[in-house]
């Protein structure tokens, strides 16, 4: 299931609030990391908005990174950095609550400011 931000305003908000200078972070010593970061150019605001929108509408007061990846059909290598970026922007919070992941391990629950 793919979620889309409801308004253009939300996407514009994410474009204006760049992290890491507007590009995806990468490991300087890794050619593949740099290539992957370059491939994300122009996609970060949309992906951040999609993850934020999902969390904001989450019916069970937040979600783990695993739950977000599963619900949005995105890999953890896409959702994990977006969560960190949204956290750095002050738009979401990693709570002290934990839930079990598909692998049976515990993971922190993220919420938007609405559910703090």
3-state helix, strand, coil in the chain (%, to 5): 50, 15, 35
1 in a structural domain: no
CATH code of the domain containing 103: 1.10.10.10
Asked whether 95 and 111 are in contact (CB, 8 A), the reply is: yes
60 in a structural domain: yes
2 in a structural domain: no
Give the chain's domain count: 1
110 in a structural domain: yes
Domain hosting residue 35, numbered range: 8-22+31-115
Instruction: Count the helices and strands in the chain (H runs, E runs).
Output: 5, 2
55 in a structural domain: yes
Specify the pTM.
0.77
41 in a structural domain: yes
pLDDT tens, per residue, the chain with 116 residues: 444 555 456 656 665 655 666 666 667 788 887 887 777 777 788 888 899 999 988 866 899 999 999 999 999 989 998 999 899 888 899 999 999 999 999 999 999 976 55
């Amino acid at each position: 299931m793919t979620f889309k931000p409801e308004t253009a305003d939300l996407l514009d908000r994410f474009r204006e609030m760049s992290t890491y200078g507007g590009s995806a972070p990468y490991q300087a010593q890794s050619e593949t990391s740099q290539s992957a970061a370059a491939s994300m150019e122009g996609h970060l605001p949309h992906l951040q908005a999609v993850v934020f929108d999902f969390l904001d509408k989450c019916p069970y007061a937040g979600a783990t990174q695993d739950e977000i990846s599963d619900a949005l059909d995105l890999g953890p290598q896409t959702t994990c950095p977006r969560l960190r970026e949204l956290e750095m922007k002050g738009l979401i919070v990693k709570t002290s609550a934990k839930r079990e992941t598909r692998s049976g391990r515990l993971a922190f629950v993220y919420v938007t400011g609405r559910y703090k």
